[in-house]
Amino acid sequence: QFRRGHSPCIEDVAYEELDVPGLLSPSVVDNASASAYSRIRFVPLTTRGGDGCSLVISDLYLYVGEEVLDLEGMDNEAGAGGSADAALDNNATTQFEDPLCRGFEVSLPRPLPVDGVALVTADGEHADRSNDPKAFLVRGQQREGGQWTTLFRTSDFATPLHRQALTGVARFRGGRTEYEVGIPSGQLIGTHTICWAERADGRFIVDAGTLTLQGLDSLQDQ
């Protein structure tokens, strides 16, 4: 949406919407040179319980395209020197408990362009729906000692209510989305706000990224 004036990007605020032909017709430009990462960090932020953060999951899967990486036995570290083996063993009967939501890191078999993550909910003595992840980060490191890059961030992850259930695959964005827009109708002098929705329910959110506007600095007859 293209709104006149300063406007928070929520539906229950009155605003004047300007018509921008083409704004709803994006095209995706793939990033052919996606970065490869040698180590991945999973950082839980909140759990479904909402009171503090105490995470329990059965498994975490990382994807490169449609391939699920085999992480069993890979070097990993959880919290203060602990182990994340139970989250990486592809075994839904084991569970990884993280009562302080410190998260964990795992080394990959080789540098890989990881582009997706999925989880399996836990079912055990210390696990119930309140321990399911709701918000988390996934970060990648290209080389040892290098900078960590945020690959994915969610604040309302769709974790299943069923136990020992696989979530959907959350894909990391690659490349960029381009909009070939026309000239907005109406008077354009002054301040305007651009909003866009990434969810089916129309909630306007932007987890990460850069918005670049390019175009003519004057109108010319063609």
Compute the distance between CA of residue 68 and CA of residue 114 in angstroms, rounded to an integer: 10
Q: Is the pLDDT of residue 86 over 70?
A: yes
Q: State the pLDDT at residue 22.
A: 60
The CA R_g of the chain, rounded to the nearest whole Å, is 21
Q: What angle do CA 125, 129, 135 make, to 5 degrees?
A: 125
The mean-pLDDT minimum among 38-47, 134-143, 145-154, 212-221 falls in: 212-221
Q: Is the pLDDT of residue 27 over 50?
A: yes
Q: Is the pLDDT of residue 29 over 80?
A: no
3-state secondary structure of 126: coil
* Residue 4 CA: distances (Å) to CA of 76, 183, 184: 50, 14, 11
The closest alpha carbon to 203, from 8, 11, 48, belongs to 11
Q: What is the pLDDT of residues 126-163, one digit of tens each?
A: 788 999 999 999 999 999 999 998 899 888 898 999 99
Per the structure block, which two tokens stand in for 121? 């909910």
Q: Which residues contact 218 (CB under 8 A, 6 or more apart)?
A: none
Q: What angle do CA 97, 160, 81 make, to 5 degrees?
A: 20
* Residue 43 CA: distances (Å) to CA of 33, 134, 140, 153, 205: 26, 11, 11, 9, 20
Compute the distance between CA of residue 136 and CA of residue 115 in angstroms, rounded to an integer: 15
pLDDT band at 174 (very low <50, low <70, confident <90, very high): low
Q: What is the pLDDT of residues 56-80, one digit of tens each?
A: 999 999 999 899 999 999 999 998 7
Compute the distance between CA of residue 80 and CA of residue 77 in angstroms, rounded to an integer: 8
Find out whether 56 and 131 touch, Cβ atoms under 8 Å. Answer: yes
Q: Is the pLDDT of residue 101 over 60?
A: yes
pLDDT band at 90 (very low <50, low <70, confident <90, very high): very high
CA-CA-CA-CA torsion sign (153, 154, 158, 164): positive
Segments in 12-99 forming alpha helices (H)? none
Q: State the pLDDT at residue 43.
A: 95
Q: State the pLDDT at residue 63.
A: 94
Find out whether 89 and 81 touch, Cβ atoms under 8 Å. Answer: no
* Whether the predicted model's global pTM rises above the 0.75 cut: no
User: What's the whole-number mean pLDDT along residues 91-112?
Assistant: 94
Q: State the pLDDT at residue 23.
A: 61
The number of beta carbons lying within 10 Å of the beta carbon of residue 132 is 23
What does residue 86 show for φ and ψ, rounded to 5 degrees?
-65, -20
